[in-house]
Amino acid sequence: MTVFALVDANNFYVSCERVFNPRLEGVPVGVLSNNDGCFVARSNELKALGVKMGEPLFKVRDLIRRHNVRVLSSNYALYGDMSARIVDCLSCFTPDIEIYSIDESFLDLTGMEHRDLIEYGQGIRATVKRWTGIPTCVGIGPTKTLAKLANFAAKKALIDGTSVCDLRDQEVRDKLMTRTPVDEVWGIGRRSAAKLTALGVHSVADLRDMDTKRARSLLTVTGERIIHELRGMACMSLDLLEEPQKGLAVTRSFGQPVIGKDELLSALVTYVTRAGEKLRRGGLVAGHMQVFARTSPFRGDPPYSGSGQASVSPATDDTFELIGHATRILDRIWKPGFRYAKAGVILTDLTPRGQAQPSLLDRRDTDRSKRLMAAMDAVNSGMGRGTIRPGMASATKGWGMRQESRTPAYTTQFADVPVVRA
DNA sequence: TCTGGGGTCCTAGGACCC
DNA sequence: TCTGGGGTCCTAGGACCC
């Protein structure tokens, strides 16, 4: 019998901000997506005001002002670093960890059943809180799906209000599932929930008791697997080894609509440059590139979405080669007269650099390219991203990201380290 | 004026092969 | 009038996740 725990940070981005600014405690706080567009993290106080996940900022301006909500731009340097610190804490409890997302990890507790796992979970929470300042909840169950559900219950204080919930017990599970709506299940999104509701499947218990064949025809094998997991039969194991990444994307909405081709190109070159950095950091080369540019679906502008692709052969991590491909793709998809709102580059067919298929016809000076890229990366990591960049990337105008209230990179930039006076 | 970004997995359908 | 069957591979699109 397997036992999994899911450790999930509470309102993670908000909690990170609160660690460095205690004045944010006890008041409504929200963190915005890129471009200061939508809320992607909310404190409990903000949730209580009815602001939903993904709510666009401009739609709730009034409410924000009335309740003096603290609104922050997202600070990924901070959140990424805090996330790594939490994983370090968890590593002290077990080596069997799957880092599931920036604020969630699964732990394999199989074989620890002789211990009081609620107490163990409390120990994890206390350690993470003491060492990083971040509050978490712990969900425990015989399958990943049940550990997820347990975590949900812990967050909502549905079982005993202790922020740790153990769903190994059948009766506890029954009770929770009967009163939990089906769309709270991990893997049941809006579409599937609508299909299920139409068939009279409303609660998690209803889904658990559904005929698996029926579920499969409605929701494919994913749905069938979820039902088995809800019944306590583990279908998913922990991914302890990091799987090689399959694709990589850099896409952004513009701060203002882009009309000219040069401007669009300079945005794309900036994104491709960033994509190249990500490739090299991961020791990867890309064999395929997709580029897209589109108008806004919200503004009522004439719609256009252009997208084109190219195979990158031989596969490369050289920013300038990638820019060449992107430029040619843009030439094919560019249409004048539209107000472009977003563009991006997606790299796929990723392989580890050493493993890439070499080509007999390859006449590139790869050694020179490698040295140039290494030099650029060294300068930019030491002096800040974009210190050295391709010339075409420099024509930043209105497309640059809006970030009106980003907090300092407290933990990753020396200049931003907080000063304590005593 | 202002509506995120970056991933994974699954399936259907087309192309191709013998 | 007749028009196979079965396999693989690839891609686009849908759904979901945080």
pLDDT tens for residues A11-24? 999 999 999 999 99
Q: Is the CB of A305 under 7 A from strand C?
A: no
- From the number of C-beta atoms within 10 Å of its C-beta (0-12, 13-18, 19+), residue A324 rates as middle
- Counting residues of chain A whose pLDDT is more than 70, the rounded percentage is 97
In this prediction the pTM is: 0.94
> What is the DSSP pairing of strand A164-166 with strand A4-9?
unpaired
A224 confidence band (pLDDT: 50, 70, 90): very high
What is the tens place of the pLDDT at every residue in A90-123? 999 999 999 999 999 999 999 999 999 999 999 9
Has residue A399 got a pLDDT over 60?
A: yes
Sole residue written with tokens 């299940």: A185
Say if strands A104-108 and A97-101 run parallel, antiparallel, or are unpaired: antiparallel
**Confidence tier at A159 by pLDDT (50, 70, 90):** confident
Contact flag, residue A144 CB and nucleic strand C, below 7 A: no
| Cα distance between residue A19 and residue A12, in whole Å | 11
CA to C1' distance (Å), from A191 to C14: 10
Alpha helices in A199-347 (DSSP H): 204-208, 212-230, 261-281, 319-333
Cα-flanking dihedrals φ and ψ of residue A278, to 5°?
-65, -40
Q: A201-216 burial, b for 16+ CB within 10 Å, e for fewer?
A: bebbbbbbebeeeebe
Distance A224 CA to C15 C1' (A): 15
All residues at 6 or more sequence positions from A399 whose CB lies less than 8 Å from its CB, including other chains: A252, A254, A255, A256, A258, A263, A264, A266, A267
pLDDT band at A360 (very low <50, low <70, confident <90, very high): low
pLDDT at residue A386, as a whole number: 85
What residue is closest to B11 (Cα–C1')? A220
Q: What is the mean pLDDT of residues A313-319?
A: 93
**pLDDT higher than threshold 60 for residue A250:** yes
List C-alpha distances in Å: A327 to A89, A101, A251, A264.
45, 33, 16, 10
Distance A26 CA to B1 C1' (A): 31
Look at A118-127, A232-241, A348-357, A388-397 and tell me which has the smallest mean pLDDT: A388-397
Q: Read off the pLDDT band of A356 (50, 70, 90).
A: low
Q: Which of A158-162, A179-183, A184-188, A360-364 has the lowest mean pLDDT?
A: A360-364
Q: Is the pLDDT of residue A395 over 60?
A: no
Average pLDDT score over residue span A141-158: 97
Q: How far is CA A386 from CA A253, A264, A288, A318, A380, in A?
A: 19, 18, 24, 16, 6
CA of A242 vs C1' of C8, distance in Å? 28
Q: Which of residues 62 to 101 on A have a Cβ less than 7 angstroms from any strand C atom?
A: 100-101
Distance A27 CA to C3 C1' (A): 74
| Nucleotide closest to A222 measured between CA and C1' | B10
Amino acid at site A366: T
The H or E element containing residue A247 is strand A247-258
Average pLDDT over residues A284-289: 95
